[in-house]
Structures are given as C-alpha cells and as structure tokens.
Amino acid sequence: MGGDIVLWMLGLLILLILGGFHIAIALAACSVLGVWLMLGNLDIALSILGLTAYEAIRKDIFAVIPLFVLMGDFISRSGAAGDLYRICDRALRRLPGRLAIATIAGNTIFAAVTGVSIAAAAAFSRIAYPEMRKAGYKQTFSLGVVAGSACLGMLIPPSVLLIVWAILTEMSVGALFVAGIVPGLLLAALFAAYVIISAYRNPTIAPRFDAPLVPATKAEARSELIGGLGILGLVLLVIGGIWTGAFTPTEAAAFGAVGALIIGFIKGMRRKEFMDSLFQAGRTTAPIMILLITAQMYSRLLAMGGGVNYIQGLFLGADLAPYMILLLMALIWLVLGMLIDSVSIILLTVPIFAPLAMGMGIDPLAFAIFGILVIEAGLLTPPFGILVYTVRGSVADPSATLSKIFAGSTPYFLLILLAAFLVLTIPQLANWLPRVML
C-alpha cells in the first residue's frame, strides 16, 4: 500500500512541476498528502513532517551553504576574478587559443573559492568575453568557452551541489569535496585540449594574439598580486584545512568567508559592497534551504512508504543490466535538466537513485561525481540552461544570442558527459584521493 502511495505521489509531483508550481511547494504538498494517506490522520502527518523539517534545519552542516556562497560573492565583487584571469593569460601566452584556455584555467581556480557556477559565468562573461572578441575570436566559440568552463564551479569544491548531495545521502562532505578534485581537473584538461585542438585545426576561430604585453602599472601589479595570492591562500585554507583534518567543512567555510572578507577589504570593497554581498548570499541561499527542508519531508515520505525499496524492486524486476539502469538514470537527469534547476534535480532523484546504485554495488563516491557531472551538463541544455541565460544577461553584446551560446557550449556539454562516464568506468578517479587524504 505504501509503495503504491509513493508512486501516486511521484506522479502528482511531476504533474505539479509541469503545471508550473514551485518545486518546494510541490514537494511539501506531496509529502503532506502522502503521509496523510498512509496514516489516515492529518494532525499526525503534519506533526511528523514538521518535526522532520525542524530536525533537518538544525544540522550544522546546513551552515556550509550560505558561508561558501558568501565567500564566493566577496571574491567575485572584489575584482579578484579579473586579477586571476590576467595572471592565467600571461602564464599561458604560448598556447593556441590562450585567451580561451586562460578562461578555463581561471574558472578552474575560481571554482575553488565559490560554491556556484553562476558567479563564475557572470564574472568571466564581463572579463574574458570582451578580450576574446577584441583579439578576433569567433563569437560562438568565445561564448561557448565562458558558459562551458563555468560548469567547473559545480564540481570542484566547495560546490553547493556536492553539499546538497552529501546532506541527502548522509555522506561525508569532506570526502565528496576531495572526490571532486581529480574529476574536476580532468574535466578542465578535456576543455583545454578541445580548445587547443580546435584552435590548431581552425585558426580562424581563435587567432594567435601575439601583441606585446603591456607592462602592468604598480597599482595593477599590486592588485593582481593581492587577488592572485588571496585566491590561492583561500584554496589552501579551505581545501587544505579539510584535507588535513584541521577544520570540519563548516569551520572551513567560516574561515573561508572571513578570509574572503579580508581580501575584499584590501581590494577596496566597502560597506555598500559588503552589504550587497550579504543580501545576494541570502537571496541565493534561502531558496536552496527551503528546497532542502521540503526535500527532507519528501525523503520521510519515501522512507515511511518503503518507496526506495519499492522503486528499486521495479527497476531490478525489469531484468535490466546495471549499465542500462545507469543510462536510464542519466537520461532522466538530462531530461530534468531541460526543465528545472540542478539542486531541484538532486532533491527529486538522489533519494531514490543513490540507494539503487549502492544496491548494484557501485562505489558511492564515483556515483556521486557521475551524478553531479550529468546534472551539471543540464546547466547547458535548452530550454533551461541556467548558465546560458547567465552569460546572455552578463554580456553587453546584443548580438550574443541564446542560440549562439547554446551552439558554442555544445562541445563542453559532450565533454562533461564523457568525463561522467569515465568516472563511472574508472571509479578510482573519484575515490583514490579520499582514500589517500582522509
């Protein structure tokens, strides 16, 4: 009976989402209705779900999300992203398509101090895109590299998606953070290889840019030194602190936010910019927290109704090979990526998919990184493609249409999927570093 109710509630949930209801409202409504139908008493159902929400929000791990978002916003507003891009540009001067590679390298490092990709997409749209266009880079190629490389922010720690996954599956946030490093660097290398090969085979999309470097003024050199060393220091503080066991992820997030605040002050941020960062972090975090609360209610519905075991039995009873089930999961994630945001996709599917994968004997860390990568690809898929819309809104060029950004980011979408299946095929890419470091 409970399994049937869970299936009906899943169907209702999908209908509500397709009908335009906010995902949090849909999750809460289906959870209340489902538990009510199981227990036959509305007061008891509301009491159980209310207690579930209260216990969920009391977990100190939830503080990681606003702190990492705040850290990233401080760094973004301080101008350190621009310093980082110029440093990478100088370091990679001899490579074909160096401005595009500098964008990828900058995003790789910037991802290590921000929990969301949107900040990277917005920052590098204003910094890198004008430079590439001025150097004669093809517009579609320039837009694609900005949107595609911004995806690295969702994999390289600290990542909001990794945190949400850890909360839902009760995995270690620190272990997931460390697990994302090697696949993140692999993905960045795949992006860079694509740019180099494309620029070498077709120089018209990324002409060589051999103009002599204009020496930086003392003020510019000081700014780049502060920005570059500041970001490097934050990476060592946050990730190094977790690696060595000096900090818990929550403590590392707090130290990172304070460090970013200091960098912002040194870089010239004042009260208005700091307050804007606080408000923006609140606007980013509040919807995620509400989603997480309702997701805990949804998980309680699945647990009470035996939904996970019921759905797992349906999958296994279909006599599908494990790789077919994984392909089906990936397809569901990609389809959902066309309709809703990444956090909502994780909240809807991971409580069901993660136990199913573990039941098939798949390494939990490898499956988590595989899932994040496939869901990450949804950031570039039409019609939702939140990174595509972020780039479009951040670029001042009116000729930079959505169709051009989608077209330019397609190779990166395919490379993300390639990296996902490489991690699934070679789980050591995800679990080797956590075994060594933790």
pLDDT digits (tens, 9 = 90+) for 255-314: 888 988 888 888 888 888 888 888 888 887 787 777 777 777 777 777 776 666 666 666
Q: What is the pLDDT of residues 169-228, one digit of tens each?
A: 888 888 898 899 999 999 999 999 999 999 888 888 887 755 555 566 677 777 778 877
Q: Are 11 and 312 in contact (CB under 8 A)?
A: no
Return d(Cα 251, Cα 237) in angstroms, integer: 11
> How many Å is the Cα radius of gyration of the chain?
22
User: Any idea of the CA torsion for 312, 159, 147, 224, to the nearest 10 degrees?
Assistant: -170
Q: Are 116 and 281 in contact (CB under 8 A)?
A: no
Q: Rounded to the nearest 5°, which phi and psi values hold at 42?
A: -65, -40
User: Across the chain, how many H-helices and E-strands are there?
Assistant: 21, 0
Q: How far is CA 104 from the centre of its chain?
A: 16
Q: What is the pLDDT of residues 43-72, one digit of tens each?
A: 877 787 777 777 766 666 677 778 888 887
Query: What pTM was computed for the model?
Result: 0.80
Q: Are 430 and 183 in contact (CB under 8 A)?
A: yes
Output the six-digit token pair for 379: 């950031």
Give the up-direction half-sphere exposure of residue 50: CA atoms within 13 A in the CB hemisphere: 6
Which whole-number Å values give the CA distances from 17 to 14, 21, 49, 58, 173, in the listed order?
A: 5, 5, 21, 28, 29
